[in-house]
């Protein structure tokens, strides 16, 4: 989650635009991992307000993220595993991204993702 806890990361190390950085990172990961034999992954990117942090008992903390964009990214990841490029982003992520990054993506048709009431507009690089 890019930009999840901006208070803990020095300003000089933070991406100025976490959504644009996440979309670019997804494209770069696809390119870098595409040639690894035996590795079959999907990458899903969404954007929006989420809660991230450590939860659990004092003897067992786990870092987790909760929120609609987290759920949407998870469902896009499932769908991406069945698409040729293995990378999908939501239309909302593209909306928040810088224009130069938007040009690297092509919008698809609306899809109904598992567990979501509203349809999602996916995009692929």
* Residues of the domain holding 21: 11-124
Higher per-residue pLDDT: 39 or 110:
110
Domain membership of residue 6 (yes or no) is no
Domain assignment of residue 2, yes or no: no
Task: Report the CATH number that the domain containing residue 67 is assigned in CATH.
Answer: 3.30.70.1230
Which residue has tokens 């938007």? 102
Residues 6+ apart with CB under 8 A from 68: 48, 49, 50
**What is the rounded average pLDDT for all residues in the chain?**
87
Q: Could you report the per-residue pLDDT of 116-125, keeping only the tens digit for each?
A: 889 999 999 9
Does 99 reside within a domain?
yes
Q: Is residue 25 part of a domain?
A: yes
Q: Is residue 106 part of a domain?
A: yes
Residue 3, in any domain of the structure: no
Which of 18-22, 60-64, 76-80 is the least confident region? 60-64
Q: Residues 35-75: pLDDT tens digits?
A: 788 888 899 999 999 998 888 888 888 888 999 999 999 99
Q: Is residue 5 part of a domain?
A: no
DSSP character string of 11-29:
GGGS-SSHHHHHHHHHHHH
Query: Taking residues 29-38, what's their average pLDDT?
Result: 85
From the list 97, 72, 88, 79, the residue with the least C-alpha distance to 125 is 88
Say what the pTM is: 0.82
CA distance 35 to 18: 27
Least confident window among 10-14, 64-68, 98-102, 113-117: 10-14
Average pLDDT over residues 95-116: 94
Q: Let me know if residue 24 belongs to a domain.
A: yes
Across the range 16-24, mean pLDDT stands at: 91
């Amino acid at each position: 989650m890019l930009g999840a806890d901006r208070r803990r990361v020095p300003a000089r190390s933070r991406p100025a635009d976490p959504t644009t950085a996440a979309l670019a990172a997804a494209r770069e990961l696809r390119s870098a991992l595409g040639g690894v034999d035996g590795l079959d992954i999907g990458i899903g990117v969404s954007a929006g307000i989420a809660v991230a942090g450590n939860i659990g008992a004092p003897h067992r903390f786990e870092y987790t993220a909760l929120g609609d964009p987290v759920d949407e990214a998870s469902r896009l990841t499932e769908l991406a595993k069945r698409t040729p490029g293995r990378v999908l982003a939501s239309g909302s992520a593209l909306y928040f991204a810088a224009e130069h990054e938007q040009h690297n993506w092509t919008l698809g048709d609306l899809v109904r993702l598992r567990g979501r009431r509203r349809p999602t507009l996916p995009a692929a690089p």
